[in-house]
Structure 1
Amino acid sequence: MEVHKLANSNVSVLEPKSKKTSMQPGRSKYERKIHKHRLVAIGIVFAIVLLGLGSQIVKANMTYSSTQQSITVNKKKLSKQKAAQSDLKIEINQLQDTNYLKKYVREKYMYSKPGELVYNLPDSVNEIQK
């Protein structure tokens, strides 16, 4: 602020400092250039951060989906194994019975009792026609 005294008066007037018009266009151009560079730099940093976080989200999503797929596959395998285990437990209990064991050995390994004749017949009509 500049103080100016009015002519033939004891009163002084406060006026703002006047800016030189010749420097203002050059200075504002420089300031605009600086602000533009700063905005570009901030934009680039923002884009890099956004790409980094976006890639992390995509990787996490891919990992999650592959984990979910492997969980479903392993659950199916587990259910098959449990079914096979229950079948084997039933078979173990049946093999404890001697009558079942004798019948199983005759059918599986083609054993026969002394004096018994064994005939092999086809299982279906299609095998007869061949």
Structure 2
Amino acid sequence: MAKSKGKISKLENEFTKKRDIEILKNKMSLKLSHKRKRRALEIIGGFACVVLLFGVQIVRAKGNLTQINSQIAKQQANLKSEKATKKQLSVKVKQLNNHSYVEKLIRERYYYTKPGETVYSFPDKAIDDLD
């Protein structure tokens, strides 16, 4: 009828059997619950690692993009200044291809004259020419 432990004995009836089955089911469900929680935490941890890895890649890519954009801006500014220099030089080349401009330039800088011409030098201009 009953298992005895010392002075206390357990009744073996339908109520106690149902209660033992419920307790056993609760223990099993707790074990499953713990396993499911552990498995869920492992899956969440795996996803967190993947998200972290991709996050690091995104941050690095954004840093590289910022660096490249700054280099592009510098190179565009450089290109703009080079184009301006090219424009100035092309104007000078056009002027040097003009015979009258070259003649004027040679006369002013090197004091060349045509045969029979006389060059007069003024004092305020002579000071600038000494530099």
- Output the TM-score relative to the length of structure 2: 0.63
Aligned position for 2:110: 111
Counterparts of 2:36 and 2:24 in 1: how far apart (Å)? 18
Q: Percent identity, please.
A: 24
Deviation at 1:68, TM superposition (A): 2.0
Contact 2:111 2:119 survives alignment (8 Å): yes
Task: Find out whether 1:29 has 2:34 as its counterpart.
Answer: no
TM, length-normalised to structure 1: 0.63
Structure with the larger helix share: 2
Task: State the match for 1:68 in structure 2.
Answer: 69
**Structure 2, unaligned runs of 5 or more:** 1-17
For 1:45, the equivalent position in structure 2 comes to: 46
Q: Which residue is 2:82 aligned to?
A: 81
Query: Any runs of at least 4 consecutive aligned residues in structure 1 with deviations exceeding 3 A, and if so which?
Result: 102-107, 113-118
Higher relative contact order, chain-length normalized (CA < 8 Å, sep 6+): 1
Superimposed CA distance per residue, residues 34-68 of structure 1 (whole angstroms, 9 cap, x where no aligned partner): 01111110110111111112122222222222222
Q: Give the distance between the partners of 1:40 and 1:49, measured in 2 at CA.
A: 14
Measured against aligned partners, the alpha-carbon deviations of 1:79-127 in whole angstroms (never above 9, x if no partner) come to 11111111111101111233422443566xx5333775762239xxxxx
| Structure 1 stretches lacking a partner, 5+ long | 1-17, 123-130
| Equivalent residue in structure 1 for 2:127, among 92, 104, 120 | 120
